[in-house]
A = this chain, B = another copy of it.
Amino acid sequence: MPNPTAAMLVIGDEILSGRTRDANMFHLAGQLTKAGIDLREVRVVSDDREAIVGAVRSLCTVHDHVFTSGGIGPTHDDITADCIAAAFGKAIDVREDAREILERHYQKTGIEMNAARLRMARIPDDAHLIENPVSSAPGFTLENVHVMAGVPSVFQAMVESLLPTLIGGAPLVSETLRIERGEGDIAGPLGTLAAEYPTLSMGSYPFQLKSGKYGSNVVVRGSDADLVRVAIERLAASFPK
């Protein structure tokens, strides 16, 4: 059975304006690979209702899972929860279970529960809550869309709460061979090898050496660890050190 597929939707003007360097994509990509879920596409959109609803609708029909990051805080520009509800034609309002979680947290920490904070208990009908052990305000799963916070520490904690509940596939095995030759020298033998092993995926990721010359990390991926090993050894034999 092929692995489940996934897309990620990063929501936030601050990423698109270059103010903030996104960290959640890299984190989620690594976690999904470990879990055997194939991340096929990422989109970054602004805090704009039409953009968010449109992206969710188009991604959730193509992929088994959609993971979102950002826009579920208490301020006026946090519109993700409403947009996800709209994308699925669901009602959204303050939900008792989410309100109780927030109230317990604020009582414990001595923070006043006000109208803005109560917005974080707005959860679409039929959604399941995603636990947030860092700052308590929950994320949620509606249909196949998992809605999480943008603050990296909170995002990561939510991913950790969520991932064990999803059914993954066989994790891909990957091995990397570092070759200190230009990609132009590597390309011929690598292309021949890739054609011989159609079930493996082979990629070349160049880097610059301090000398100014180029080398490349060649990554071979596949579900058959022995085959990956054989291909890496044959490649290494083509480029003796």
Contacts and interface: CB of A to CB of B under 8 A. Distances in A.
A48 to B, nearest CB: 8
Interface residues of A, number: 71
A4 to B, nearest CB: 14
Tell me the dominant secondary structure on chain A's binding face.
mixed
Contacts of A73: 183, 187, 204, 206
Copies held by the complex: 2
Interface string A7-30: 000101111111111100111111
Which 5 pairs between the two chains have the least Cβ-Cβ distance?
Answer: A116-B187, A18-B30, A18-B29, A117-B184, A42-B44
B183 A74 contact: yes
A177 interface: no
23 contacts: A10-B42, A16-B39, A17-B33, A18-B26, A18-B29, A18-B30, A18-B31, A18-B33, A19-B219, A41-B43, A43-B44, A73-B183, A74-B183, A75-B186, A77-B194, A77-B202, A77-B203, A116-B186, A116-B188, A116-B191, A117-B187, A119-B187, A151-B206
Nearest to A44: B42
A25 B184 CA distance: 26
A29 B42 CA distance: 16
A111 interface: yes
A49 to B, nearest CB: 14
